[in-house]
Structure 1
Amino acid sequence: MMLLTYLKWRIRQSAFYRKKMQRWVNNVRYQFRVYKYYGSKYNFRATKIDINNKSRIIFILDPQREHPGLVDQLKAMIRMYYIVKISNLDYKIIHDDPFSLKDYLVPNSVKWDMPWEGLSYNLNNVKIIYCNGQDPIERVSGK
């Protein structure tokens, strides 16, 4: 065990690891944690299937995860709305923690609020795009 710990330490100290592999290894570890967390919620056997079959982006601030401040959240929502407008998709927001966003921002021309009950957990019609603010956002299409 001590030899394995030493080898891990030695590899992480090398210039090759720091320049070429550190970011990749950290991203893989991060994605594994994300899939482990969301894999327990989303699967192919989930019973709820979206019958509307309309392409949309749902911006979810999961209460189980840590998020930045309110202004950063609002900026991210606005950026995502811009991407959705360009892609010609529907846009929904689920924000209930620590307060319900629709208590302070009333939907006007775009009905953006959505309850948790309207969310589909079936991976046949859901694609999870987890954005941590560091990686580029995947290209979306209205197909």
Structure 2
Amino acid sequence: MEEVDENRREAFKKLFETVQDHLPHGFEALMQYNMPNFVVPKSIYPNGYHCSPKDPLPFIGVAAQKNHITLYHMGIYAKPELLDWFVAEYPKHMTTKLNMGKSCIRFSNTKTLPYALIAELVRKMTVQDWIELYEKQLTKA
């Protein structure tokens, strides 16, 4: 947290805590890919991440970059229905245009993050849901 620019630190911390406080039981917080990540621990999913099996399966990451704070949500990338839900809900919480990549949601204005929407998003997928979806995606590849 100390490495985050002080202009973004409060929002970054609140975003991290929002994710942490609303994720279903079983996910674990750790540093992965140079940012705080919430993962499926190897004690639950010993196979780990297919790209690097020694690492636990990533699910959500929170990053502070030069021009924005980013929430990386692998479930949004893997489950089109969840993405559609989020895109439809976003305008109900925000007046700014959604800035999004395949799994990342970028927030440039740190004073207006939609914490309630993010809390609702992270509650929508359990550890078991994520493992099943992840394995289903692997069989398609």
Same fold by TM-score greater than 0.5: no
TM bin, normalised by shorter chain, reads under 0.3
Larger Rg over CA atoms: 1
Which structure has more relative contact order (CA 8 Å, sep 6+)? It is: 1
Larger fraction in strand:
2
Q: Normalising to structure 2: TM-score of the pair? A: 0.27
Q: Normalising to structure 1: TM-score of the pair? A: 0.26
